[in-house]
């Protein structure tokens, strides 16, 4: 067994690690014999030297095998999931899981917390009183069988090594590494015992991958590794040059998801991504013959109210209020301060720096700077204007929700600095959020 320092040194010097060395290191940071400092050093070495495909597969499988692999045999529904690489205002999972459940799929969605400047699905769900993100495996299995969906964290012994690695990466500037992202995502998905998986790979100013070539490379790597490990997987490339939902912040995004499922007027960009992912997942799982059929089924699940019913049943089944969607404002306390973010000039909203907006939410207390930080679920932004909107001087770019006037002042300044108002010349001719697809492949990477 190689010492952790030897493994770190080897990767720092650009050597290729064999699967045994990677397995030993993962076992070490799972059982505590590898320190947080050594985990951070290893991650930084990977940032600079990378991992080849064989090393990435070994890291993925080692983290998968650090705990239990769920077994869904006996279910009469196809087991499917989706994963997003993260962005601002990305609350898609909250709508997508119940939509698919209403369409006949089983969705054991193993989600994560906020990472870097992006919000985490688990952080959003923890704003719901009583919601248990770490149920016992039997409770999880029963809920997936009876309701069709459950959005939870890595429960009990499910990929426990990744949980620690994930937390260290969040605060050591080692998030933006393709092999580490691939291994983190897929270790949990493989441990979840899925039959098919669809990946939502974000690209743009609010994503970890800021250009299309990098996003395509990440999506290809994810699809190749996942299919090579026996999990039928495809990916959609979706734009993140502005927040996906017209809001950002944990409880704020939950409120928006409830309104979406309740059939209230839906934001066009968000609806496009939700329906595209739903269609892809229904086709991949065999519940639809083509994308048009899948999208139609998803729309009917919303319009009939069956998706909202699945959402409420999931919340109640995981300890939350049984009438949550009917009384969302009762259960989600608002921030004490709400103020406009006024435009500093008139013109066309040409650009929004998504990462800067995400960091402004973190600055409000809606994200973490350190792993032990507590999140304030109330804070964030709502009513965010879409790119291409014509604005007058002083018109709201958004509304900030803050715990104090001082925090609101800082967030207003940060949002204004993130917005570029001009003559519309920078706007793309295409407003489509779905920018590409990478289909399933075969063969081991």
Task: Give the residue numbers marked as catalytic.
Answer: 81-84, 121, 169, 184, 188-189
Tell me if 47 sits within 8 A of 8, measured CB to CB: no
Tell me if 399 sits within 8 A of 341, measured CB to CB: yes
Question: Residue 293: which H helix or E strand, with range?
Answer: helix 291-303
The radius of gyration computed from the CA coordinates of the chain, to the nearest angstrom, equals: 21
**Full DSSP string of 66-128:** TS-----TT-SS-BEEEEE---TT--HHHHHHHHHHHTT-BEEEE----BTTB--HHHHHTTS
DSSP 195: S
Three-point CA angle 432, 433, 437, nearest 5°: 100
> Mind spelling out the 3-state secondary structure of 9-49?
HHHHCCCCCCHHHHHHHHHHHHHCCCCHHHHHHHHHHHHHH
Give the pairing type, strands 80-84 and 396-402. Answer: unpaired
Spell out the residues 6+ positions from residue 274 whose beta carbon is closer than 8 angstroms to its own. Answer: 92, 95, 96, 99, 260, 298
DSSP 146: H
Enter the tokens of residue 143: 């809920």
Three-point CA angle 73, 79, 81, nearest 5°: 145
Enter the tokens of residue 343: 């435009």
Q: Can you tell me the distance from the alpha carbon of 409 to that of 395, in angstroms, rounded to the nearest whole number?
A: 17
């Amino acid at each position: 067994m190689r010492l952790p320092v030897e493994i770190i040194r080897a990767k720092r010097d650009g050597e290729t690690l064999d699967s045994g060395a990677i397995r030993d290191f993962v076992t070490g940071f799972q059982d505590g014999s590898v320190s947080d400092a050594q985990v951070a050093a290893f991650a930084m070495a990977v940032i600079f030297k990378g991992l080849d495909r064989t090393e990435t597969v070994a890291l993925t499988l080692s983290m998968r095998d650090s705990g239990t692999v769920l077994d869904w045999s006996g279910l009469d529904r196809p087991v499917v999931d989706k994963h997003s690489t993260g962005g601002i205002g990305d609350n898609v999972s909250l709508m997508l899981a119940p939509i698919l459940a209403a369409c006949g799929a089983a969705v054991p969605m193993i989600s994560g917390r906020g990472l870097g400047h992006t919000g985490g699905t688990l952080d959003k769900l923890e704003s719901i009183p009583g919601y248990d993100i770490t149920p016992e495996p039997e409770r999880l299995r029963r809920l997936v069988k009876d309701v069709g969906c459950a959005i939870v964290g890595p429960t009990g012994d499910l990929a426990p090594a990744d949980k620690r690695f994930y937390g260290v990466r969040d605060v050591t500037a080692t998030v933006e590494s393709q092999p580490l992202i691939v291994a983190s995502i897929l270790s949990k998905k493989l441990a979840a015992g899925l039959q098919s998986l669809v990946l939502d790979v974000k690209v743009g100013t609010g994503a970890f991958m800021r250009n299309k070539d990098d996003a395509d490379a990440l999506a290809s790597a994810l699809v190749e590794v996942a299919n090579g490990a026996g999990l039928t997987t495809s990916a959609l490339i979706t734009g993140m040059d502005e927040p996906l939902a017209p809001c950002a912040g944990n409880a704020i995004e939950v409120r928006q998801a409830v309104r979406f499922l309740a059939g209230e007027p839906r934001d066009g960009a968000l609806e496009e991504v939700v329906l595209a992912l739903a269609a892809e997942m229904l086709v991949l799982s065999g519940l639809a013959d083509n994308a048009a059929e899948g999208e139609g089924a998803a729309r009917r699940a919303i319009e009939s109210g069956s998706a909202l019913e699945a959402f409420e049943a999931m919340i109640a089944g995981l300890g939350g209020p049984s009438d949550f969607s009917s009384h969302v404002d009762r259960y989600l306390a608002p921030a004490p301060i709400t103020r406009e973010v006024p435009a500093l000039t008139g013109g066309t909203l040409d650009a929004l720096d998504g990462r800067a907006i995400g960091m402004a939410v973190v600055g409000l207390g809606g994200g973490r700077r350190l792993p032990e930080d507590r999140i304030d679920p109330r804070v964030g932004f709502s009513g965010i204007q879409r790119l291409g909107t014509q604005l007058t001087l002083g018109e709201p770019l958004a509304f900030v929700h803050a715990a104090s006037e001082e925090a609101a002042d800082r967030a207003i300044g940060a949002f204004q600095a993130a917005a570029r108002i001009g003559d519309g010349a920078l706007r793309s001719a295409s407003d489509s959020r779905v920018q590409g697809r990478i289909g399933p492949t075969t063969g081991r990477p």
